[in-house]
């Protein structure tokens, strides 16, 4: 829903928007009582109509819960560079960027060319390809912790398989996840899991027997003491600790100095595998992800999002002795019809090469620094007790004090944020529709985009 002030609107545009043909019906439409209000609602007509239909066919009208925006989401017609356009022809500067993958912006010509080239050769074989070997070699080059890896189709599959493998390798059952950490939507990890669940106020899901999560332990982020006692107490049956190095799905919430290094030391000393879920941070913070950025080497890593260039993908990898336990070389089973899908892998190769050759992260991280600095100034100038957080090309204005864990994130003013989200949308800026979701910057965002965005923050905060 977008609220427009009548005085600011050109009348003819308005008639056009409302699809009303004459002034009489226009006035009647505005005000059956004959009194013309100063402010009224203009709906995104086509999106609203699409939503009415969609919700009869698709639960909630969306294919993934984070996309549900109250009262209804805009339905996208196309996207290009930093801009996303809806069915009604509105255009927004996009900081959601498909929740992370579109680090070069939408519809990037280099990625598109790689996909087109692959399309001409066919897009699904069910046989191994040279493409997979090429991408695997590149990933192993950027991530020294990854000797071997396997391709899957989503981040969800990657963490599901990584956890199974960690359990198979260690012959232990339990794992620790971080409260508010999101690792996809499979049974074992859907406990206090990130923005979708958190925004909807349903930290757990129906349909998951309690027995399925009895091996899932929770620890608050950034608290090495609680983690230490949990790991030491459970070490005999503890396979792994899985963590987003930067909590991206409720944040970004950053690790306190030394936290990840201490976690590495703790897990090593207790014979527990450390899994970095870098589905967001991989190729976002640096080519070598958070592990390069913070200088911490995990035993296993999961990747997704950026590494597919916008096509569906997931990766899990790690030390050779662990990875060799995966079928067919080992006894931990894992399989997928679309695993290593040629278009995804071709897009991924093009993405990695472009990021590296164009030194994209230097430019992006500088834009991120600028954005955070300017936003901090705006927040201060407006005298708000809000906080600007972020790292590299991730940022967020938290409507509250800087959070260091899930419980602190929950204290932020999420209703206030949602109202702000709608004001930003009306100003032509699309932020992720939740206080608990990271904003991303792409290489396609121009200086003009950034300045317009800062103006919109200034107006709407
Ligand atoms: C998005 C995400 C996943 C799940 O990836 P999908 O491709 O959506 O299944 C897993 N872990 C993290 C950290 C993510 O951000």
The CA 160 to ligand 1 mean position distance, Å, reads 11
Angle separating helix axes 447-460 and 360-381, nearest 10 degrees = 20
Task: Tell me the CA–centroid distance for residue 235 and ligand 1, in Å.
Answer: 27
How far is the centre of ligand 1, averaged over its atoms, from the C-alpha of 154 (Å)? Answer: 7
pTM over 0.85: yes
Q: How much is the mean pLDDT over the chain?
A: 91
237 or 212, higher pLDDT = 237
Q: List pLDDT tens digits, range 76-105.
A: 999 999 999 999 999 999 999 999 999 999
* Averaged pLDDT, 305-309: 98
**Which among 307, 335, 357 is the end of a domain?**
357
| Res. 27: pLDDT tops 70 | no
What distance in Å separates the CA atoms of residue 31 and residue 34, rounded to the nearest whole number? 5
* Whether the predicted pLDDT of 113 surpasses 60: yes
Residue 39's pLDDT band, with cuts at 50, 70 and 90, is: very low
Centroid of ligand 1 to alpha carbon of 175 (angstroms): 18
**pLDDT above 60 (res 11):** no
Q: Which residue from 103, 155, 290 has its CB within 8 A of the most atoms of ligand 1, so it is best to mutate?
A: 155
Cα(183) to ligand 1 centroid in Å equals: 6
* DSSP 3-state of 121: coil
341 and 397 fall within a common domain: no
* Cα-to-centroid distance, 304 and ligand 1 (Å): 7
181 CA closest ligand 1 atom index: 13
At 16 the pLDDT is 52
Confidence of residue 29 (pLDDT cuts 50, 70, 90): low
Tens of pLDDT along 218-273? 999 999 999 999 999 999 999 999 999 999 999 899 999 999 999 999 999 999 99
- Do 303 and 425 have their domain in common? no
Whether the bond into 71 is cis, omega within 30 of 0: yes
Specify the pLDDT at position 25: 53
163 with 218, same domain: the answer is yes
pLDDT of 49-68, one tens digit each?
A: 999 999 999 999 999 999 99
Q: Ligand 1 pocket: which of 97, 99, 156 to mutate (most atoms <8 Å of CB)?
A: 156
Please say if the pLDDT value at position 31 is more than 70: no
**C-alpha separations of 310 from 349, 361, 391, 445 in Å:** 12, 17, 22, 17
Residue with CA nearest ligand 1 atom 5: 155
Which of 322, 341, 357 corresponds to the end of one domain?
Answer: 357
Examine the domain organization and report whether 391 and 425 are in the same domain: yes
Q: What are phi and psi of 318, to 5 degrees?
A: 170, -155
Q: Are 260 and 114 found together in one domain? A: yes
Q: What is the token pair recorded at 61? A: 């009208």
Q: Please write the tens of the pLDDT for every residue from 397-420.
A: 999 999 999 999 999 999 999 999
Enter the tokens of residue 294: 């913070």
Strand locations in 45-179 (E): 76-80, 83-86, 91-94, 148-152, 174-178
- CA 191 to ligand 1 center in whole angstroms: 15
Q: Report CA 87 to chain centroid distance, whole Å.
A: 23
Ligand 1 atom closest to residue 249's alpha carbon, by position in its atom list: 15
CA 218 / ligand 1 centre spacing (Å): 18
Closest CA to 429 of 398, 454, 392, 397: 454
Same domain, 322 and 378: no
Q: How many domains does the structure of the chain reveal?
A: 2
Q: What is the mean pLDDT of residues 145-166?
A: 98
Among candidate residues 315, 340, 357, the one where a domain is terminated = 357
Residue 26 has pLDDT above 90, yes or no: no
- Report how far ligand 1's centroid is from the alpha carbon of 279 (Å): 6
Residue 304 Cα: closest atom of ligand 1: 7
179 pLDDT more than 70 = yes
DSSP single-letter state for residue 13 = H
In this structure, the answer to whether residues 26 and 118 fall within a common structural domain is no
Same domain for 320 and 231?
yes
Distance 157 CA to ligand 1 centre (A): 9
Query: In this predicted model, what pLDDT tens digit does every residue of 350-373 receive, in sequence order?
Result: 999 999 999 999 999 999 999 999
> In this structure, are 113 and 94 located in the same domain?
no
Residues 231 and 122 in one domain: yes
Instruction: Give the distance, in angstroms, between the CA of residue 260 and the centroid of all CA atoms in the same chain.
Output: 21
The answer to which of 15-24, 204-213, 275-284 has the lowest mean pLDDT is: 15-24
pLDDT over 90 (residue 201): no
Q: Is the pLDDT of residue 393 over 90?
A: yes
The ligand 1 site (C-beta within 6 Å) comprises 154-156, 159, 182-184, 244, 248-249, 277, 279-280, 304, 314
Q: How far apart (Å, rounded) are the C-alpha atoms in residues 295 and 160?
A: 25
- Which atom of ligand 1 is nearest to 99's Cα? 1
Tell me the Ramachandran region of residue 334: left when phi exceeds 0, alpha when psi lies from -120 to 50, beta otherwise: beta
Q: How far is the CA of 25 from the centre of ligand 1 (A)?
A: 49
In terms of domains, do 337 and 388 share one? Answer: no
Say whether pLDDT at 377 is over 90.
yes
The CATH number of the domain holding residue 270 is 3.40.640.10
Q: Which of 447, 443, 338 is nearest to 110 (CA)?
A: 443
Separation of CA 202 and ligand 1 centre (Å):
18
pLDDT at 310 over 70: yes
* Residue 111: strand, helix, or coil: helix
Give the β-pairing of 216-219 and 174-178. Answer: parallel
Quick one: which atom of ligand 1 is closest to the CA of 277?
Answer: 13
Is residue 345 situated within a structural domain?
Answer: yes
Protein residue whose Cα sits closest to atom 11 of ligand 1: 183
Cα 344 to Cα 216, 289, 306, 340, 354, distances in angstroms: 31, 20, 11, 7, 15
Mutate which of 280, 311, 316, 336 to test ligand 1's pocket (most atoms within 8 Å of Cβ)? 280
Q: Where residue 53 sits, what CATH number does that domain have?
A: 3.90.1150.10
What's the confidence (pLDDT) of residue 211? 86
Q: Determine phi and psi for 95, rounding to 5 degrees.
A: -115, 10
- pLDDT > 70: percent of the chain: 88
Give nearest CA residue, ligand 1 atom 6: 155
State in Å: Cα 97 to ligand 1 middle: 14
List 387's β-bridge partners, or say none. 398
pLDDT at 205: 85
Average pLDDT over residues 110-129: 98
* Residue among 67, 151, 178, 183 to mutate when testing ligand 1 (max atoms within 8 A of CB): 183
Residues spanned by the domain of 200: 109-357
Residue 1 lies in a domain: no
pLDDT digits (tens, 9 = 90+) for 432-458: 999 999 999 999 999 999 999 999 999
pLDDT of residue 41: 46
For residue 201, what are its two tokens?
Answer: 């106020």
Radius of gyration of the chain (CA): 23
Q: If pLDDT is split at 50, 70 and 90, which confidence band does 196 have?
A: low
- Substitution site in 159, 180, 184, 244 for ligand 1 pocket (most atoms within 8 Å of beta carbon): 184
61 and 131 share one domain:
no
């Amino acid at each position: 829903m977008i609220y427009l002030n009548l005085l600011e609107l050109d009348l003819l545009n308005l008639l056009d928007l409302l699809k009303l043909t004459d002034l009489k019906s226009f006035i009647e439409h505005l005000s059956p009582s004959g009194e013309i209000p100063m402010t009224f609602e203009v709906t995104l007509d086509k999106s609203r109509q699409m939503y009415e239909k969609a919700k009869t066919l698709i639960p909630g009208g969306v294919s993934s819960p984070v996309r549900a925006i109250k009262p209804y989401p805009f339905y996208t017609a196309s996207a290009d560079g930093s801009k996303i356009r809806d069915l009604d022809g509105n255009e927004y500067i996009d900081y959601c960027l498909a929740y992370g993958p579109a680090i070069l912006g939408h519809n990037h010509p280099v990625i598109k060319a790689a996909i087109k080239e692959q399309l001409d050769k066919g897009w699904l074989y069910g046989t191994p390809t040279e493409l997979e070997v090429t991408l695997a070699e590149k990933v192993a080059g950027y991530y020294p912790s990854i000797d071997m890896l396997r391709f899957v189709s989503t981040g969800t599959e990657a963490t599901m398989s990584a956890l199974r493998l960690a359990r198979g390798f260690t012959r232990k059952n339990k794992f620790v996840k971080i409260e508010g950490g999101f690792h996809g939507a499979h049974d074992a990890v859907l406990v206090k899991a990130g923005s979708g669940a958190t925004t909807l106020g349903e930290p757990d899901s129906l349909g998951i027997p309690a027995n399925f999560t009895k091996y899932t332990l929770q620890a608050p982020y950034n608290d090495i003491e609680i983690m230490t006692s949990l790991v030491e107490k459970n070490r005999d049956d503890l396979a792994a600790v899985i963590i987003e190095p930067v909590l991206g799905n409720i944040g970004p919430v950053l690790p306190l100095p030394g936290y990840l290094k201490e976690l590495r030391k703790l897990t090593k000393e207790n014979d527990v595998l450390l899994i970095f879920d870098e589905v967001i941070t991989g190729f976002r913070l640096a080519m070598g992800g958070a592990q390069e950025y913070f200088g911490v080497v995990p035993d296993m890593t999961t990747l997704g999002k950026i590494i597919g260039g916008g096509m569906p993908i997931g990766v899990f990898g790690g030390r050779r002795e662990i990875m060799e336990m995966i079928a067919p070389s080992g006894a931990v089973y894992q399989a997928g019809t679309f695993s290593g899908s040629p278009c995804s892998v071709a897009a991924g190769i093009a993405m990695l090469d472009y990021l590296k050759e164009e030194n994209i992260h230097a430019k992006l991280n500088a834009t991120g620094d600028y954005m955070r600095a300017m936003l901090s100034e705006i927040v201060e100038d407006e005298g708000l007790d809000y906080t600007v957080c972020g790292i590299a090309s991730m940022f967020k204005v938290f409507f509250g004090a800087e959070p260091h864990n899930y419980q602190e994130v929950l204290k932020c003013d999420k209703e206030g944020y949602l109202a702000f989200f709608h004001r930003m949308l009306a100003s032509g800026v699309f932020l992720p529709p939740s206080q608990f979701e990271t904003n991303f910057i792409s290489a396609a965002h121009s200086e003009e985009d950034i300045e317009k965005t800062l103006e919109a923050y200034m107006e709407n905060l």
